[in-house]
Structure 1
Amino acid sequence: MVDTRTPAQRRRIMQSVASQNTGPEMVVRRLLHSLGYRYRLHDRRLPGTPDIVFRKKKKAIFVHGCFWHAHDCPKGRPPRSREEFWQEKRKKNTERDARNIAELEVEGWSVLVVWQCETKDRQTLSSRLTAFVDNAENPIDESDSSH
């Protein structure tokens, strides 16, 4: 299938996609703040520049967009145009994500991935965030963080 946008339109659309302070990230940040947690944002000293960082606890949270990080949910479906391009792009993103998480864990950090689609159920998300931040060890099963 051919792209339905002109190159100029596609470029403008792609340039408007934010990598920080996204809607899902803001949901997680506001929820953490309302629960009484204080944190740092986008620590460039850490692999992958996690979205939310609890330095003293050595805990990092990535808030991933389902599309960009190839989540297995309806929002994560690839487009039907330029399939080869998108398959390669999303593959590189997921490989980079895995590499960054592995580097953080080697450095002694616990990592939680929150998916865009998970921000809709605030009660479940709240419980998951509280369990992650409060527990001395990461309570999240490995399979849970990589949906």
Structure 2
Amino acid sequence: MTLSDNWTPPQGSWASSAARRRNMQAIRSRDTTPERLIRRLVHAQGLRYRVAARPLPDLRRTADMVFGPTKVAVFIDGCYWHGCPEHYVPPKTNKGYWSEKVARNMARDRDTDRRLTEAGWLVLRFWEHEPSAECAARITSEIARRRASARPGGKQKH
């Protein structure tokens, strides 16, 4: 079945038109360009990680990159979906729904941060607009720091 231009959304649907519905369904939730760039840079530094994985098995939330042994969870947040203070622009159509959705995403992000931190994880969050090289450098640095503090005596290996 294909959607035509005269398609009407079901009662209570989030899509205001067939075109909007197609557009929203095409938005990726993983493997975005910023994620792939950061992963490539981190991988080039010799670090290995799980992609789109649950840091905590009982928590139904996934991080973009999970470094299990060092307990580091990395999230690369989209400016629109996570309410970036610099770039978020409120929607022009269906304002109530989309504004509430972004607010729920932000609340869930804070809850995820809290739960992971309480379980001993380091949570690193980056905005999609941040330079990939800077994000990768911070990730690499934090992993090295956590590995060093896990060694007996807390000394870094040379």
1:60 aligns with 2:73: yes
The structure richer in helix per residue is 1
State percent identity of aligned pairs.
37
In 1, the alpha carbon distance for the partners of 2:51 and 2:31 equals 9
What is the TM-score normalised by the length of structure 1?
0.80
Q: Deviations over 1:32-86 (max 9, x none)?
A: 1112211111223633211101100011101111110001122x22222222222
Structure 1 residue runs of 5 or longer lacking an equivalent are 138-147
What is the TM-score normalised by the length of structure 2?
0.74
Shift of 1:126: 3.3
Q: Map residues 19-58 of structure 1 onto 2, 5 A cutoff.
A: 19-44=29-54, 46=56, 47=59, 48-58=61-71
In 2, the alpha carbon distance for the partners of 1:42 and 1:122 equals 18
Helix, strand or coil: the match of 1:89? helix
In 2, the alpha carbon distance for the partners of 1:57 and 1:15 equals 35
In 2, the alpha carbon distance for the partners of 1:45 and 1:57 equals 11
Aligned residues: 130
Structure 2 residue runs of 5 or longer lacking an equivalent are 1-14, 148-158
Structure index of larger Rg: 2
